[in-house]
Amino acid sequence: MSGRLQGKVAIITGGSRGTGAAIARLFVAEGARVAIADLREEQGRALAAELGGDALFHRCDVASRDDWAALVAAVREHLGEPAVLVNNAALLDIAPIDEVTEESLERLFRVNQLGPILGIQAVLPSMRALGYGSIVNMGSTDGVLAQDMGLIAYASTKFALRGITRTAAMELGRDAIRVNCLVPDSGNIEMSAPFLPEGMDHDELMRQHVEQILKPPPWASGFHRYEEIARMTLFLASDESSGCTGGDFPVDGGYTAGRRFRP
């Protein structure tokens, strides 16, 4: 590893499992000190223990301004001023438009849309004090292309997140704070599992999904999308992407590149 985040402090929401955990592991390997923010305490504390002294777990409900304030205070005390924020925490719900409830719409809005805004507000004083910063919002192909899959609640928040990204990039560029949106074609397998038929091999289904267009190279085996998303997040968090702000960065195997006619 080349230490691409050496000396930087990063906050990763939804960091206890899946994509968030992959990002946390890679960031620590690249020299960062990482705060894992999540409501899943057991998984989060286990991951922080695995990563050692450069990692901290802090329980945080991203829809709570008070929780964000407590998180940033803990990060400052134990790790330093955060220079990187990865807004990765998200919820999924699937229901057709005539059945989706107000409760579902509000719940997803608070985590997927309000949460990133509160996070940006919480880290701004630190990033302004440092004189720079990088914010990476975890979007989705469902925020780029519409699908007939009952995603009205989820997709609306992910389309909104791209607007949040661009608006924040325009406002914060004068402070040398970059804001970008990563667009993956797959999220946490555990998040999707409750909406899949019983007895289905979730890992195999996800592998088929992410390989619809782009065949993996001969040396690749298994499911690697988490690591691929983590590497793009690393690029956007690092100084290597100093000229990138307000952009969408797909890691989707060509999913949003065009129409798919063959199954």
Residues 6+ positions from 41 with CB-CB distance below 8 Å: 57, 59
Q: How far is CA 35 from CA 59, 115, 186, 259, in A?
A: 10, 16, 23, 39
Burial class (CB in 10 A: 0-12, 13-18, 19+), 208: exposed
Residue with token string 């100093």 = 242
CA-angle at 78, arms to 115 and 64, nearest 5°: 20
Q: Which of 132, 154, 226, 255 is catalytic?
A: 154
Answer yes or no: 154 catalytic.
Answer: yes
Write the burial class of residue 96 (CB in 10 Å: 0-12 exposed, 13-18 middle, 19+ buried). exposed
Question: Which residues are known catalytic residues?
Answer: 154
